[in-house]
Amino acid sequence: MKVAVVGGGIGGLTAALRLVEGGHEVHVLDAGARPGGVIGTSEVDGFRREHAANGFLTGAEDGAAALCAELGVGVVEAAPAAKTRWIYLRGRLHALPSGPGSFARTQLLSWRGKLRLLGEPLHRARDVASAGDESLWDFAVRRLGPEAAHALVAPMATGVFAADARELSLAAGFPKLAALDARGGLVRGMLAGMFGGGNRRARSRLATPAGGMIAMIDALAVRLGERVRRGVSVRHVVPEAGGVSIVGDDAARTRYDAAVLAVPGSAAARLLAGARPELARGVGDVYYAPVAIAFLGFRARDVSADLGGFGFLVAAGEAPRVLGCVFESTLWPERAPADHVLVRLIYGGARDPGAAALDDAALLAQAGADLAKVLGVRAAPVHASTVRWAHGIAQYPVGHAERVAGWEREAHAARLVLAGSAYHGVAVNDCIADARRVARQVAAWR
């Protein structure tokens, strides 16, 4: 079959790879000057900046680690310090407990909160399949108690989705938690992950391609070769009997046997508005929380604070405006020149979209103030820069999975497949794994 893949982010490129493997003739049409979508890596003042995803967990089945191995891209594991994660709560940092001893000692939760969390097996299990979806927040309060919801679970929603846990779908955002919940083994499962139980070898590690995330994109582009067409902005997608016409910016129509729409929901809505207005309205409703990143680089000797760990997340309602901060050069020392450190502070998200709209000077001033408050860092940075995404990370509201299933039925009837981060997971691991579903769907039309 001749298949158009509209959108050359990680979702579109991996879908194209799987389609080529399936023997199809594939064109990837991407509006950007280079493929990769939001993923990008740049070197400024000797600091390596990741523009979106900065790494991935290696344990995911069919995820980025497997793709890198397949493409011959070397990966670098994060320093062991990555295991330590911090949460800013009640005006100070607390290490996320990593064992029974630190759980007993942590001040993230009161004794009452700890007992409530450990009493989880006594609380009602709930199966999304029969009882319907709920928010991550409602789920956490029901199973773990309000303290754990605020101190542990809501920051996780910020860390992964830059989301507000009260709005985020459990079923679509955290399907593994939903499955554990249905089986009633939530605390057992969480403790196994948190305290290092289970099969140690199978445990995930944080890693990134040597050369940065862009190395994985570049290798995909090389593998796909001339099938990837840059600077091609698709204007309309028009389903027709037994196929799909793609209309480009120059109004030229090209007929394909099927098309994969691997663009953000708002872009898919524009492509479909003429031919499939109802589907267009649906996918156009997927909200992307805006995100702004502030990168600050310092001389190591000017920073007396302990940057040991992955970084910190800030619980809702605390004074710092930053959602979270990643200690980039602790994880991967090559991200800063020798004797320097680099941190990446994330602003905006569904919790505080206004912060992503601050101008550069205001954002960098806020980043400096937040670092001073949380870590006591008051030195002048030797590097300060920003990367912004007005449409940053797709948000999955309660009921998302069900709505996606409806859109997919409508798309299927029009020989279209919806792909990318708007539907089945925002993490790069999810977008990569989802490419096999896309290829299966296309193969079904053969």
Measured from the CB atom, is 98 or 266 closer to ligand FAD? Answer: 266
Encoded one letter per residue, x for contact with ligand FAD by CB under 6 A and - for no contact, window 165-204 reads ----------------------------------------
- Residue 332 is encoded by which pair of tokens? 């991967």
Is 78 a binding residue for ligand FAD by CB under 6 A? The answer is: no
Measured from the CB atom, is 206 or 384 closer to ligand FAD? Answer: 206
Measured from the CB atom, is 320 or 392 closer to ligand FAD? Answer: 392
The one segment of 88-96, 108-116, 201-209, 387-395 that binds ligand FAD by CB under 6 A: 387-395
Is 96 a binding residue for ligand FAD by CB under 6 A? The answer is: no
Strand 2-6 vs strand 253-256: parallel, antiparallel, or unpaired? unpaired
Buried b (16+ CB within 10 A) or exposed e, 260-273: bbbbbbbbbbbbbe
Is 151 a binding residue for ligand FAD by CB under 6 A? The answer is: no
Is 52 a binding residue for ligand FAD by CB under 6 A? The answer is: yes
237, 293, 313, 417: which one binds ligand FAD (CB under 6 A): 293
Q: State the DSSP code for 397.
A: B
Strand 2-6 vs strand 25-29: parallel, antiparallel, or unpaired? parallel
Q: What is the closest distance, in whole angstroms, from the C-beta atom of residue 414 to ligand FAD in the complex?
A: 17
Measured from the CB atom, is 231 or 376 closer to ligand FAD? Answer: 231
Please name the helix (run of DSSP H) or strand (run of DSSP E) that holds residue 104, with its range, or none.
helix 100-105
Is 10 a binding residue for ligand FAD by CB under 6 A? The answer is: yes
Helix axes 428-443, 64-71, angle to 10 degrees: 70
Between CA 250 and CA 103 the distance in angstroms is 61
- Residue 366 is encoded by which pair of tokens? 């806020």
291, 305, 401, 432: which one binds ligand FAD (CB under 6 A): 291
Q: What is the closest distance, in whole angstroms, from the C-beta atom of residue 376 to ligand FAD in the complex?
A: 26
Is 211 a binding residue for ligand FAD by CB under 6 A? The answer is: no
Q: Are 295 and 384 in contact (CB under 8 A)?
A: yes
Between CA 334 and CA 338 the distance in angstroms is 8
Measured from the CB atom, is 140 or 206 closer to ligand FAD? Answer: 206
Is 389 a binding residue for ligand FAD by CB under 6 A? The answer is: yes
Amino acid at 59: G
Is 56 a binding residue for ligand FAD by CB under 6 A? The answer is: yes
Q: What is the closest distance, in whole angstroms, from the C-beta atom of residue 264 to ligand FAD in the complex?
A: 5
153, 311, 420, 424: which one binds ligand FAD (CB under 6 A): 420
CA 307, 308, 310, 312 dihedral sign is negative
Name the CA radius of gyration of the chain, rounded: 22
Between CA 425 and CA 292 the distance in angstroms is 21
Is 393 a binding residue for ligand FAD by CB under 6 A? The answer is: yes
40, 113, 173, 264: which one binds ligand FAD (CB under 6 A): 264
Rounded to an integer, what is the distance from CA 335 to the centroid of its chain?
A: 20
- Count CB neighbours of 225 within 10 A: 8
The one segment of 5-13, 94-102, 130-138, 408-416 that binds ligand FAD by CB under 6 A: 5-13
Is 426 a binding residue for ligand FAD by CB under 6 A? The answer is: yes
Is 421 a binding residue for ligand FAD by CB under 6 A? The answer is: yes
Q: Which residues contact 360 (CB under 8 A, 6 or more apart)?
A: 386
Encoded one letter per residue, x for contact with ligand FAD by CB under 6 A and - for no contact, window 21-50 reads --------xxxx----xxx-----------
| Helix, strand, coil abundance in the chain, percent, nearest 5 | 40, 25, 35
Q: Which residues contact 355 (CB under 8 A, 6 or more apart)?
A: 292, 321, 347, 348, 363, 366
Residue-wise DSSP of 157-207:
HHHHHS--TTTBBHHHH-HHHHHHHHHT-HHHHHHHHHTT-S-TTT---EE
Q: What three-state secondary structure class fits 289?
A: strand
Measured from the CB atom, is 83 or 142 closer to ligand FAD? Answer: 83
What residues pair up with 132 in beta bridges, in sequence order?
Answer: none
Q: What is the closest distance, in whole angstroms, from the C-beta atom of residue 382 to ligand FAD in the complex?
A: 23
Q: What is the closest distance, in whole angstroms, from the C-beta atom of residue 167 to ligand FAD in the complex?
A: 17
Is 269 a binding residue for ligand FAD by CB under 6 A? The answer is: no
Measured from the CB atom, is 109 or 364 closer to ligand FAD? Answer: 364
Number of residues lying near ligand FAD (CB under 6 A): 37
Is 434 a binding residue for ligand FAD by CB under 6 A? The answer is: no
Write out the residues near ligand FAD by the rule CB under 6 A. Answer: 6-12, 29-32, 37-39, 52-56, 233-234, 262-264, 267, 291, 293, 389, 392-393, 420-421, 426-429, 431
